[in-house]
């Protein structure tokens, strides 16, 4: 496997500082993504936003995020994680704050699109950093730890966002949370370095990109991300408005319910990142350990469809939390497949390409299609769809992502 060689000095304590910075970056990135969905009931008091228009606004983010992922992946492979991630953090922070200038659904979609392009640098930089600093048996757990920032953001974010909106009003709330990334950018610039023995990379050529895209593991990861990333996006962006419109939750209740979902998701994500390493210690191959964990995650989803039928809204919240947790477990392992199967200098590009596929799936399956279906048919068809996508993706990944022996 191409991603197996890591310099000896990565056993040092510094790798955990790197992981802490990546965790902080992912957390802030997702808090900035969450502000819109949490404050939608307040925004709608000033700006009319129908389900279809909301889907378009989300689609604006997903489209530019999708386009930005491979672009940032290639840039990060060429200029390195330090400069590439610094540019992404700075740009997403300013564009997030500028949401407060929105005067219509259209202008909100424009700012959302700019933000999506800037925010797309997070995962290519983070996955590449993990491949540089962590040995193969620790990567899934390291990925699960920094990726838990997405869930932590949804635990601490909604209460803080509601408090800020109640104290300052919704426009200034965007400014407050957008500014958090500036402090992270300064810390990243001052503290991050690459491993001492890491060889310089001149980036990835067009021929190499073409070869990567044609490889079966790349195709498998691309399809896996296309089918499963929308599940996370759907629950992240649609649950607050679902609870408000369908379950009668006010802003304060949403600030309790959403963190409850992501507490469950965070704990399950840690377990999903730990399990492959445990299997490897038992003597399992990396491929068997990774795919078995992903199978266990995928098998959970059909049971979570009951969330939309449950009479008790808190049963819905628990089941959605389990679904998000299973996705966290899945995500930690499919991300880590990028560093399992490819050389370190290609990891950012492969992650970006795979992220592009996930974003494309998000545009269709978590933004535009749900916006139309919810407005004309309700939430049930979308919840059912979210319950079958991971099992379908597992069948694809199992057959196409075959490791070198």
Residue 4's pLDDT band, with cuts at 50, 70 and 90, is very low
Q: How many C-beta atoms surround the C-beta of residue 196 within 10 A?
A: 11
Q: Express each pLDDT in 336-372 by its tens digit.
A: 888 788 876 777 778 778 888 888 898 889 888 998 8
Over residues 13-30, the mean pLDDT reads: 92
Which stretch of 32-46, 143-157, 201-215 has the lowest confidence by average pLDDT? 201-215
Q: What percent of the chain has pLDDT over 90?
A: 51
Mean pLDDT taken over the chain: 88
Q: What is the pLDDT of residue 7?
A: 45
Query: Which domains are assigned to the chain?
Result: 11-193+204-400 (1.20.1250.20)
Q: Which residue has the tokens 């399809």?
A: 223
Give the residue with greater pLDDT, 140 vs 106.
106
Which stretch of 210-219, 228-237, 315-324 has the lowest confidence by average pLDDT? 210-219
Rounded Cα distance, 269 and 154, in Å: 14
Q: What percent of the chain has pLDDT over 70?
A: 94
Q: What is the pLDDT of residue 5?
A: 46
Residue 11's pLDDT band, with cuts at 50, 70 and 90, is low
Closest CA to 236 of 261, 256, 211, 208: 261
Give the residue with greater pLDDT, 260 vs 270.
260
Q: Express each pLDDT in 63-102 by its tens digit.
A: 999 888 888 888 888 888 899 999 999 999 999 999 999 8
- Encoding tokens for residue 57? 């606004």
Q: What is the pLDDT of residue 204?
A: 59
Over residues 202-218, the mean pLDDT reads: 74
pLDDT over 80 (residue 388): yes
Closest CA to 184 of 275, 239, 122: 122
Rounded Cα distance, 160 and 177, in Å: 9
pTM (predicted TM-score): 0.74
Fill in the DSSP letter of residue 8.
Answer: G
Q: What is the pLDDT of residue 354?
A: 86
Q: What is the pLDDT of residue 103?
A: 87
Q: Express each pLDDT in 137-190 by its tens digit.
A: 788 788 888 888 888 898 899 999 999 988 888 999 999 999 999 999 999 999
Closest CA to 139 of 229, 310, 27, 10: 10
Residue 8's pLDDT band, with cuts at 50, 70 and 90, is very low
What is the chain's Cα-based Rg?
Answer: 20
Over residues 269-283, the mean pLDDT reads: 90
Q: What is the pLDDT of residue 396?
A: 96
Closest CA to 188 of 17, 11, 13, 386: 17
Q: Express each pLDDT in 222-267 by its tens digit.
A: 999 999 999 998 998 899 889 998 999 988 898 899 889 989 988 8
Q: What is the pLDDT of residue 293?
A: 96
Query: Who contacts 374 (Cβ-Cβ below 8 Å, separation ≥6)?
Result: 51, 55, 238, 382
Q: What is the pLDDT of residue 228?
A: 97
Q: Which residue has the tokens 């040995």?
A: 135
Q: What are the two backbone dihedrals, phi and then psi, of residue 89, each rounded to the nearest 5 degrees?
A: -60, -50
CB 390, CB 322: distance < 8 Å: no
């Amino acid at each position: 496997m191409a991603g197996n060689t890591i310099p000896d000095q990565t056993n040092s304590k510094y790798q955990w500082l790197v992981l802490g910075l990546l965790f902080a970056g992912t957390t802030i990135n997702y808090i900035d993504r969450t502000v819109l969905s949490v404050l939608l009931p307040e925004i709608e008091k000033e700006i009319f936003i129908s389900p279809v228009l909301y889907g378009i606004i989300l689609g604006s983010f997903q489209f530019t995020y999708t386009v930005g992922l491979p672009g940032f992946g290639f840039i990060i492979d060429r200029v390195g994680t330090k400069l590439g991630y610094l540019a992404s953090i700075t740009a997403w922070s300013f564009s997030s704050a500028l949401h407060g200038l929105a005067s219509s659904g259209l202008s909100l979609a424009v700012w959302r699109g700019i933000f999506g392009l800037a925010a797309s640098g997070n995962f290519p930089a983070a996955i590449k950093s993990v491949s540089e600093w962590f040995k193969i048996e620790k990567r899934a757990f390291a990925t699960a730890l920094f990726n838990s920032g997405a869930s932590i953001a949804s635990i601490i974010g909604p209460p803080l966002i509601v408090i800020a909106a109640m104290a300052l009003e919704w426009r200034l709330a965007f400014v407050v949370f957008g500014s958090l990334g500036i402090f992270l950018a300064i810390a990243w610039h001052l503290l991050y370095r690459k491993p001492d023995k890491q060889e310089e990379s001149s980036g990835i050529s067009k021929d190499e990109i073409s070869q990567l895209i044609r490889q079966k593991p790349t195709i498998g990861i691309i399809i896996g991300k296309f089918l499963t990333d929308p599940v996370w996006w759907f629950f992240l962006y649609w649950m607050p408005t679902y609870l408000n419109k369908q379950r009668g939750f006010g802003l304060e209740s949403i600030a309790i319910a959403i963190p409850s979902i992501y507490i469950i998701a965070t704990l399950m994500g840690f377990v999903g990142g730990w399990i492959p390493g445990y299997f490897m210690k038992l003597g399992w191959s990396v491929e068997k350990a990774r795919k078995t964990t992903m199978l266990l995650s995928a098998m959970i989803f059909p049971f979570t469809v009951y969330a939309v039928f449950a009479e008790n809204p808190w049963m819905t919240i628990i089941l959605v939390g389990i679904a998000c947790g299973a996705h966290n477990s899945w995500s930690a392992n499919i991300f880590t497949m990028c560093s399992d199967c490819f050389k370190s200098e290609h990891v950012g590009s492969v992650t970006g390409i795979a992220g592009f596929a996930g974003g494309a799936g998000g545009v269709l399956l978590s933004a535009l299609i749900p916006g139309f279906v919810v407005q004309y048919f309700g939430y049930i068809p979308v919840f059912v769809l979210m319950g079958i996508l991971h099992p379908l993706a597992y069948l694809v990944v199992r057959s196409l992502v075959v490791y070198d022996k």
